[in-house]
Amino acid sequence: MIICPIADGGEGTVEALGSIKGSKMIYASCSDPLGKQIKSNYVMLEDGTAVIEMASASGLELISEKQRDPNITTTYGTGDLIKDAINNGAREFIIGIGGSATNDAGLGMLRSLGFKFFDKLDREVSLAKDLGKIVKIDQTDSLRSLKQCKFKIACDVNNPLFGTNGAAHIYARQKGADDEMISHLDSQLELFAKVVQKTDDKALDKYPGSGAAGGLGFGFLAFLNSELKPGIKIILEKLDIKSAIKGADFVITGEGKIDKQSAMGKVISGIGKLCKKEGVVCIALGGNTSEADTAIHDIGVSAFFPISNAPINLSDAMDKDIALDLIEKKTQQIFRLIKAATKT
């Protein structure tokens, strides 16, 4: 039996890739979304690749609901972690950008890395609400080693930077914005994109994923040597899951809720497609499968099952010990059935 920790580029990515032999967990100080100094961590792989979850520095879960304000929350801490990794020798990066508390188009991250942004009065701009005031971008003091760095951005959304499907309109409300703030933030992103295009001749605002994480995708594309890829593809390649699946009799995977989104770039999607290609039976377990449909089978999952055996409240369902017990019991029953079927 082979056990492979897995993630799709969101929460758990550092833990999953940290399971690779020779990897090392690095602890570092960084700013949280409101500028408070906190301790966070990232993984340094044996080949020198740094794996960072932006949510560990700039995530929504780091601040209370009352503190959420995308006018002022910043990705500065994400830049702190990148800078620390560079100082530790990293030149290749995998960055998971899910779960952000921000809408600053990477402004904070870039400032942490030495970029400077000025308004028409030559004052530095530092907040998302003022992005539209930027008229000049100075990269003189940015880290020289950034030119040697390559970033793979784990991104599972296709939103453009601004507009009705952009970062502010689709995601800012959950980060604390009301209608007026959403409209303002959207206009600031559009104005900022125009300045970037004028300065660097880069029209990236409509690039799929540029609106991810409050426009952080745009910040990476416009200023750093970056590519946006589905998170599950990045993780599967790095973990070489294909080799583990090759020749297997069964693969068991799963997630908290198996639904239509599971077939769209989630863990189950990536594992199912590999199993389908290799002709391996894939079984998926979920805490909730009520909204799953045949699309799950189309991507290579042979069958899916809920782990619960009776009505259960959410807090119990999310209890690690209870969940492990339910998974074990469900798996036993599945393989009892398989064993019985193969005897006949």
Using pLDDT thresholds of 50, 70 and 90, give the confidence band for residue 247.
Answer: confident
Amino acid 54: pLDDT: 96
| Percent of the chain scoring above 70 in pLDDT | 99
**What are the DSSP calls for 183-247, one per residue?**
HHHHHHHHHHHHHHHHHH----TTSTTTTHHHHHHHHHHHHSSEEEE-HHHHHHHHHTHHHHHTT
Higher-confidence residue of 8 and 73: namely: 73
Residue with the two structure tokens 């009352």: 66
H helix or E strand, kind and range, residue 83: helix 76-87
The three-state secondary structure class of 19 is coil
With a cut of 80, say whether residue 203 has pLDDT above it: no
Q: Which domains does the chain have, with CATH numbers?
A: 13-232 (3.90.1510.10), 242-343 (3.40.50.10350)
With a cut of 80, say whether residue 202 has pLDDT above it: no
The predicted model gives 219-248 an average pLDDT of 91
**Counting beta carbons within 10 angstroms of the beta carbon of residue 141, is it exposed (0 to 12), middle (13 to 18) or buried (19 or more)?**
exposed
**Counting beta carbons within 10 angstroms of the beta carbon of residue 64, is it exposed (0 to 12), middle (13 to 18) or buried (19 or more)?**
exposed
Cα–Cα distance measured from residue 99 to residue 10, given in angstroms and rounded to the nearest whole number: 7
Amino acid 344: pLDDT: 59
Using pLDDT thresholds of 50, 70 and 90, give the confidence band for residue 308.
Answer: confident
Amino acid 317: pLDDT: 77
Amino acid 201: pLDDT: 64
Using pLDDT thresholds of 50, 70 and 90, give the confidence band for residue 76.
Answer: very high
The predicted model gives 306-320 an average pLDDT of 82
Render pLDDT for 209-233 as a digit per residue (tens, 0 to 9): 999 999 999 999 999 999 999 988 8
The predicted model gives 243-260 an average pLDDT of 89
Amino acid 290: pLDDT: 85
Render pLDDT for 130-183 as a digit per residue (tens, 0 to 9): 999 999 999 999 999 999 999 999 998 889 999 999 999 999 999 999 999 999
Amino acid 257: pLDDT: 86
Residue with the two structure tokens 């499907």: 165
As a whole number of Å, the CA-based R_g of the chain is 22
Cα–Cα distance measured from residue 86 to residue 225, given in angstroms and rounded to the nearest whole number: 14
The predicted model gives 113-118 an average pLDDT of 98
Render pLDDT for 204-215 as a digit per residue (tens, 0 to 9): 999 999 999 999
With a cut of 80, say whether residue 299 has pLDDT above it: yes
Choose the most confident range, by mean pLDDT, from 41-50, 232-241, 264-273, 283-292.
Answer: 41-50
Render pLDDT for 24-59 as a digit per residue (tens, 0 to 9): 999 999 999 999 999 999 999 999 999 999 999 999
Which residues are CB-contacts of 306 (< 8 A; sequence separation ≥ 6)?
Answer: 285, 286, 287, 288, 289, 290, 330
With a cut of 80, say whether residue 22 has pLDDT above it: yes
Q: How far is CA 273 from the centre of its chain?
A: 20
* Single pTM value for the model: 0.86
Residue with the two structure tokens 């390649």: 237
Number of H helices, E strands in the chain: 13, 11
Amino acid 23: pLDDT: 94
